[in-house]
Amino acid sequence: MKHHTIPRVIAKLTIPGIILFGLYVQFHGDYGPGGGFQAGVIIGAAMILYGLIFGLDDLRNVAPQKIVTLLVAIGFLLYAGVGVVTQILGANFLEYGVLAHSQKDGQHIGIILVEIGVGITVAAVMITIFYMFAGRK
Amino acid sequence: MLSQLPALQVVIPLIAAPLCVVFRNKEIACLVSQVVSILSFIISLILLQQVLEVGVISYALGGWLAPIGIEYRIDILNSFVLVIVTGISSVVTIYSNKSVQYEIDTEKIYLFYTGYLLMFSGLLGMTITGDAFNVFVFIEISSLSSYAMIAMGRDRRAVSASFTYLVMGTVGATFFLIGVGLMYSMTGTLNMADLAERLPKVYESKAILVSFAFISIGILLKLALFPLHLWLPNAYTYAPSVVSAFLSATATKVAIYILIRFGYSIFGSDFVFSQYPTAQILASMSIVAIVVCSLVAIFQTNIKRLLAFSSLAQVGYIILGVSFNNINGLTAAIVHIFNHALSKGALFLAMGSVALVIGSVKIKDINGLGKKMPFTSFAIVIGGLSLIGVPITAGFISKWYLILGAIDKGWWPLAIILLLTSLLALVYVWRIVEVMYFRSETNVSEVKEAPISMLIPMYILVAMTIYFGLETSFSAGLAKQAATYLLGMSG
């Protein structure tokens, strides 16, 4: 698709917007509709669009497969890690309230961290699935 | 610290799984899964002890109290199942190193252990949770990872076996979810204890009947009761040996636990057994499962496949015990979950050693194995005897309670059928024994005994098969307490 000017230009124009919207959905998740899963899918979709237009090799330069696989695990560890930290702080698993001085702030911090974990894992899984399909000979 | 154990039971393997991906190293992955399994085993023993001392343990996940939040609820029944799952996993992971290196591509081994740990934590989650929807989530975690692991088998047919299991398993899980959804729409709660309280008020509604039908058929698919068993033989035959051993000893067993949990402590035996002919339906399906699958097992040429059909027959015995709705029957079912896990685990581990040393698990390829691999062969004999239900093996204890249950229920002919079907088990076990010990010509002349690191875990299970055939206060005693608790709770 590299030689088709219109898809290439449109992709270049839209990809930053898609990623920005993904980040909006990610960080607005605790106030409105959205959250880690949707944000992860949107950011993953932006990367996949890049891969479709500019080819697999370019995408591999942007997001090396090893790092993407690592991110799958790291997002998940962030989620579970928040749970373990609350346990160390003396509360139950994923009881966010203890993460800050007030219950409300703790819930905020907890849910944001967990959603970031979900977002990282989902985006990385989306890209991995794309690699798996696109990389088949 | 003690109060956090219920969460740690599930969380430790769940965190260990992505750690294996981070390290990308097969030795570390193997070590991590061994350490995690043994840690989980210790946790489950402490939980069991706590349950025996103080009764039901409840853990509010995220600090949200039941019935709003997800509750982990541990009573005598599921703490017993937790001990089984973690114990088997400890043995299997200690065994696994050589077998996995032989059967799995080197660069995929760390992913294999990742999948294994996910499956392990999924099964633990299904067992420990007190929330009906949470059960579905963990069913999906354990099933998805088990599809991936079955597909890692060396034989290319493993992929199609895994796909069949994926289709059937997804149908099962979806049915389960539909059932849970209907229950939720009628009662407005997903907490198991809360459901048990609210359901009697809506017993008359057709939605609850439909929900019960969906849930039981969904779970029967997962536990592979005849005629919903079609995915199982190929899955066990072509999966890597370690996976066959772990799945046969734990995955179907946890599904059986879910059936007992929903039948006896959520819907309640009043609803399940008094208003509808559930007992007759389950019992007739089980009898057919026992007879047909034992007969089919006799004609198998691949020993892993033979053992898979034997597993189906044993599932029949367990469900038969569940259908009796009396103390002895339920005790038989619960204790057979334990006993069958031991003996079938030992048998599949032995098959893993045979596959490693000979490279085949066909009956025709193991002529004279008894002389060349005396320890492995003897393990197969003991495991086989337990499948038949010979006295001083664990299998006898389960059969004994099962026959008592049949007599209590007044179903005399069943007791006779049970004795006769043991003879069928004798035939298929004898076929293996005959080839191993009584053939003059031998086609395994160059082989040596399996490595000691595989023999020790195998013999732990073999020793336990014998031990729990003689000393039953732990296994049958606990099973009886659990049965009394279940029947008392619903009666």
Q: Where are the domains of chain A?
A: 5-134
Question: DSSP E strands: which ranges in B6-124?
Answer: 57-60, 71-74
Q: Do B22 and A77 touch (CB under 8 A)?
A: yes
- Convert the pLDDT of each residue in B133-145 to its tens digit: 999 999 999 999 9
Q: Hey, is the C-beta of A74 within 8 angstroms of any chain B C-beta?
A: yes
- Convert the pLDDT of each residue in B187-206 to its tens digit: 989 999 899 888 888 888 88
Residue B112: per-residue pLDDT: 92
Q: Do A83 and B7 touch (CB under 8 A)?
A: yes
Residues A123, A75, A36, B124, CA torsion sign: positive
Mean pLDDT of chain B: 90
Query: What is the residue-wise DSSP string for B271-296?
Result: IIIIISTHHHHHHHHHHHHHHHHHHH
A114 to chain B: which residues are within 8 Å by CB?
Answer: none
Residue B435: per-residue pLDDT: 87
Q: What is the mean pLDDT of residues B67-87?
A: 91
- Convert the pLDDT of each residue in B297-328 to its tens digit: 999 999 999 999 999 999 999 999 999 888 89
- Convert the pLDDT of each residue in B40-55 to its tens digit: 999 999 999 999 999 8
Above pLDDT 70, what percent of chain A? 98
Q: Name which of A73, A83, A91 is nearest B11 (Cβ-Cβ).
A: A83
Closest residue in A to B62 (Cα–Cα): A95
pLDDT at B491 over 50: no
Residues 2-61 of A with CB under 8 A from B: none
Query: CB–CB of B324/B408 below 8 Å?
Result: yes
- Convert the pLDDT of each residue in B214-272 to its tens digit: 999 999 999 988 888 889 999 999 999 999 999 999 999 999 999 999 998 898 888 88
pLDDT-based confidence at residue B373 (cuts at 50, 70, 90): confident
- What is the maximum span of chain B, computed from C-alpha positions, in angstroms? 69
Q: How far is A46 from chain B (nearest CA, A)?
A: 25
Q: Hey, is the C-beta of A93 within 8 angstroms of any chain B C-beta?
A: yes
Above pLDDT 90, what percent of chain B? 54
Per the model's pLDDT, the better-predicted residue between B255 and B444 turns out to be B255
Q: How far is A99 from chain B (nearest CA, A)?
A: 12
pLDDT at B490 over 60: no
Q: What is the mean pLDDT of residues B371-378?
A: 87
Question: For residues B271 and B139, what is the distance between their CA atoms, to the nearest angstrom?
Answer: 25
Question: For residues B2 and B46, what is the distance between their CA atoms, to the nearest angstrom?
Answer: 9
Residue B31: per-residue pLDDT: 92
Query: CB–CB of B5/B74 below 8 Å?
Result: no
Q: What is the mean pLDDT of residues A21-41?
A: 87
- Convert the pLDDT of each residue in B400-434 to its tens digit: 999 999 998 888 888 888 888 889 999 999 999 98
Q: Name which of B15, B21, B63 is nearest A95 (Cβ-Cβ).
A: B63
Residue B342: per-residue pLDDT: 92
Query: CB–CB of B368/B441 below 8 Å?
Result: yes
Give, in order, the Cα–Cα distances in Å from B220 to each of B6, B168, B216, B295, B416.
27, 11, 6, 21, 26
Q: What is the mean pLDDT of residues A12-27?
A: 93
pLDDT at A49 over 90: yes
Phi and psi based region of residue B411 (left: phi greater than 0; alpha: psi -120 to 50; beta: remaining): beta
Residue A1: per-residue pLDDT: 64
Residue B268: per-residue pLDDT: 85
Query: CB–CB of B325/B411 below 8 Å?
Result: no
Size of interface A-B (CB pairs under 8 A): 48
Residue B271: per-residue pLDDT: 85
pLDDT-based confidence at residue B371 (cuts at 50, 70, 90): confident
pLDDT at B155 over 90: no
pLDDT-based confidence at residue B489 (cuts at 50, 70, 90): low
